[in-house]
Amino acid sequence: MILDVPELSLVALVGISGSGKSTFARAHFKPTQVLSSDFFRGLVADNENDQSASGDAFEVLHYVAAKRLAAGRLTVVDATNLQPHARAGLVKVAREHDVLPVAIVLDVPEPLAWERTQARADRTFGRPVLARMHRDLRRSLGQLAKEGFRKIHVLRGPDEIAAAGIRYEKLFNDRRDEHGPFDIVGDVHGCRAELELLLARLGWDLVRDEQGRPVDAVHPEGRKAVFVGDLVDRGPDSPGVLRLVMGMVAAGHAICVPGNHEQKLARKLNGRNVQLTHGLPETLEQLAAEPDEFVREVRAFIDGLVSHYVLDDGRLVVAHAGLKEAYHGRASGRVRSFALYGETTGETDEYGLPVRYPWANDYRGSAAVVYGHTPTPTAEWINNTICLDTGCVFGGALTALRWPAREVVSVPAAKEYYAPARPLVTVATKPERGLDIADVTGRRHLDYGYGKTTVPAENSAAALEVMGRFAVDPETLVWLPPTMAPCTSSTVDGFLEHPSSALADLRAAGVDRVVCEEKHMGSRAVVRVSRTGDRDAIWTRTGRPFFGPELNDPLLARVRAAAEPLLTELDTDWLLLDAELLPWSAKAGSLIRDQYASVGAAGRSALPVALALLDQAGARGLDVGGLRDHLELRSTEIDGYSAAYRAYVKPTDGLTGVTLAPFAVLAGAGVSYAKKDHDWHLALADRLVAADPELFTPTRRMIVDLADPAAEAAATDWWMTLTAAGGEGMVVKPWAGLAVTDPRGRLVQPGVKCRGREYLRIIYGPEYTRPEQLDRLRRRNLGRKRALALREHGLGLAALDRLAEGAPAWRVHELVFAILAAESEPVDPRL
């Protein structure tokens, strides 16, 4: 005997003690799927047989069941479930999570159950108790359907129980195994001519009957059509639309969800009393001219429509009025009601129409939701949802969405067939701001495509402080640069970092070609510029604006002018640049004065005085030579330390003396350039330099084949020359681009920094080059810094991907926010 059980349901095992419920559960379900009342009594009372703990036990059991059902997991309750109140609690949990309650009844003879009960040492109740249970079971059999159980399986006797098997059935709305490609068509409302035109534009071939009427359509590429409902009413040919769509569905070329107008028509055809409004009289008049057999087919077709469909591995949901995430793939009256009518606020507007709750504003699901129902002039994506009802019957257009390409295709209406009660204006569904503090606060787990990460609540709080008080507009802040890991500590005498280590790191990651870029000693800058100047901004690696509007605006204007040819060539409205703002002192003046210059000034003031005193002591015959040599060395080191930071201090006056060194073009409208090689990025950077050489500073570089020792030696010589002249060092990057992976498919560091010997005095102190100090520093732990760099890099790549695909602002921002939160990790800032 095969028992059909929905894949997502709440299964209640019903039976008296000794009927074999636990044995049945172990045989047919996973241990994690089964919630046993005995187990929960043990949890709350340390005694599975303590009936006084049943209330608390079932409270916890219902809580766990609710969590499982909310997560979309089959849940089985192993309890006697003989009392109506016990079953009512389970039905309530199932309904709250819009899943079907299922009852599996194990009906065994009372003598057999008593024999099994006596064999268990933990069962101490008498036979009258079991007899009462058996009477309760007999009464329950006739009540289960009335109580709301949608499927009831009764297994009578041990033989049927032993022979039973479980077969999982998909819900009618579950078509995740269908991947399309799909052409999803908005509300047609009887506009047959426009539907024919739209299908032709989408590449469909119409099939006509002997009377020339379209009865099917076939796409040469095997695409499938999806209709969002409201095929009928108001328009000139509702029967023609039904004939075509019904034929496509019957032939397997299309699927369709019901609209509220189909629902009302079906009620009328089934003899129900409905108001003849909103175009229904016209449809009934048109159907009156059709054969009775056709009308019966229409009624059967509508009655068989499913409220919504989940398609393409769960990436796509189609429902007439939309569907919030908690209802995806669920089955209940309220799910169907939401899919048909949406959700209203209970108010009416000035036209007497219901005010609909803007559920799309709050939508945060990963599945794209495509719907109709509410006319709007144009189809726009809002938080991964799109309404395709563009008011064809009202003189607007009939619109379709190509999936997965997300391409919108429309044809204009031939005329206004029906005057709208409300003018066809943009419905206030798109919020002025698409972000919500709940998207980023608290402990969060992110699967961002390049990996998974957990953002601790305390890091979120720190990031929120920065974002809320100091950062640029969060909807503008679409990317933050990752932290950069240093190369492996060098064993070359006198060096903590050396090109041989940096090149070896990339070689070990499977990279065969790198670009060595001059590391500019400035402040990391991200720049967004557009043709119009709208939302242009420049921000630091923690999202803060660099200057006030008085300097930001003219700086961005010059970048915009220089970038104009690139915007045209790349056919984009805006560009996102990764750059360095120079000099360091332009942004870090106070840091240099307080943290570095003060140390240098103290050393230069105190050490000459100390040396003069030691010279006097030596002249008097005191043995101070060792101490004097030590202080002489410290004085030399302080001079080197001061020279190191002074190299990056240059006078600026407003924007005079300020330059930008661009080295990557990250993204444009609808595209990420992360997979472009660094030759491409740096060539565009060079063109910006050529366009405004006073504003832009070039990035010197060298391409190195890691299989060529001579090329590696040349890179080392170049680095030595660069750093000897006061340069900070270089960054070694995989030449192939920003999104490079190793042979195992893992992301490779986007770049490792190799800093010069003298520059590192700023970082590790004046005396760091002493042999004993270098030995200690070489043992520094780089693992955490590298892991953090890769995590931030992956989050940044994912943000660029989502930005390119047109994801809602909150999906991009949650990744950028996670990068900022990662900056609160306790990692040595000197690395």
pTM of the prediction? Answer: 0.79
What 3-state class would DSSP assign to 4?
strand
Sign of CA dihedral 19, 20, 25, 27: negative
Rounded to 5°, angle at Cα 328 from 327 and 334: 30
Res. 647 pLDDT band, cuts 50 70 90: confident
Cα atoms found within 13 Å of the Cα of residue 119, Cβ hemisphere only:
10
User: Rounded to whole angstroms, how far apart are CA atoms 16 and 139?
Assistant: 12
Q: What is the pLDDT of residues 747-791, one digit of tens each?
A: 999 999 999 999 999 889 899 999 999 999 999 999 999 999 999
**What is the model's pLDDT at position 830?**
78
Mean pLDDT of the chain: 92
How many helices (H) does the chain have, and how many strands (E)? Answer: 27, 34
Classify strands 75-78 and 34-36 as parallel, antiparallel or unpaired. Answer: parallel
| Cβ atoms of 376 and 389 closer than 8 Å | yes
Residue range 340-364: mean pLDDT, rounded: 75
Which residues pair with residue 672 across a beta bridge?
Answer: 667
Q: Tell me what pLDDT residue 109 has.
A: 93
> Which residue do the tokens 């679409």 mark?
478
Residue 682: count of CB within 10 angstroms of its CB: 21
The pLDDT of residue 435: 80
Per the CB < 8 A criterion, the answer to whether 463 and 440 are in contact is yes
CA neighbor of 579 nearest in space, from 457, 666, 638? 666
Alpha-carbon distances of 529 from 560, 575, 582, rounded to whole Å: 6, 6, 19
Question: What pLDDT does 594 receive?
Answer: 81
C-alpha to C-alpha distance for 217 and 208, rounded to whole angstroms = 9
How many whole angstroms separate alpha carbon 820 and alpha carbon 813? 10
| pLDDT tens track for 566-612 | 999 999 999 999 999 999 888 777 888 888 888 888 988 999 999 99
Taking residues 60-78, report their average pLDDT: 97
Burial of 274 (0-12, 13-18, 19+ CB in 10 A): middle
Burial status of residue 192 (CB atoms within 10 A of its CB: 0-12, 13-18, 19 or more)? buried
User: Rounded mean pLDDT of 699-722?
Assistant: 96
Write down the pLDDT at residue 431: 46
Question: Residue 705's CB: how many other CB atoms inside 10 A?
Answer: 13
> So what's the pLDDT on residue 349?
59
Radius of gyration of the chain (CA): 36
pLDDT given for residue 53 in this prediction: 87
Number of Cβ within a 10 Å radius of residue 103 = 25
CB neighbours of 13 closer than 8 A, spacing ≥ 6? 21, 24, 25, 76, 77, 78, 79, 81, 104, 106
Pairwise CA distance, residues 491 & 393, whole Å: 77
Is residue 221 within 8 Å of residue 227, measured between CB atoms? no
Q: Report how far residue 191's alpha carbon sits from residue 232's, in angstroms, rounded to the nearest whole number.
A: 8
Q: 168-217, pLDDT tens digit by residue?
A: 999 999 999 999 999 999 999 999 999 999 999 999 999 999 999 999 99
Whether 429 shows a pLDDT value over 60: the answer reads: no
Q: Which amino acid is at 8?
A: L
Task: Give, rounded to a whole angstrom, the gap between the first and last alpha carbons of the chain.
Answer: 67
pLDDT tens-digit profile of 77-90? 999 999 999 999 99
pLDDT at 432: 43
CA 57, chain centre distance (Å): 37
- Region 396-425: mean pLDDT is 90
Over range 727-731, report the average pLDDT: 95
Q: Give the model's confidence band at 357: pLDDT under 50 very low, under 70 low, under 90 confident, else very high.
A: confident
Report the alpha-carbon distance of residue 766 to residue 368 in Å, rounded: 57
Q: Is 741 helix (H, G, I), strand (E, B) or coil?
A: strand
For residue 474, count other CB atoms closer than 10 A to its CB. 21
pLDDT per residue over 210-242, tens digit each?
Answer: 999 999 999 999 999 999 999 999 999 999 999
16 within 8 A of 110, measured Cβ to Cβ = yes
Q: Which long-range CB contacts under 8 A does 766-769 form with residues at least 24 apart?
A: 766/599, 766/603, 766/634, 766/637, 766/638, 766/640, 766/641, 767/633, 767/634, 767/637, 768/496, 769/494, 769/637
Do 222 and 180 touch, CB atoms closer than 8 A? no
Quote the distance between the C-alpha of residue 107 and its chain's center: 48
DSSP designation for 286? H
CA distances to 100, 351, 507, 638, 779 from 516, rounded to whole Å, are 61, 66, 13, 30, 25
Task: Supply 129's token pair.
Answer: 């108790």
Residue scoring higher pLDDT (32 or 47): 32
Q: Residue 49: what pLDDT?
A: 82
The pLDDT value recorded for residue 353 is 62
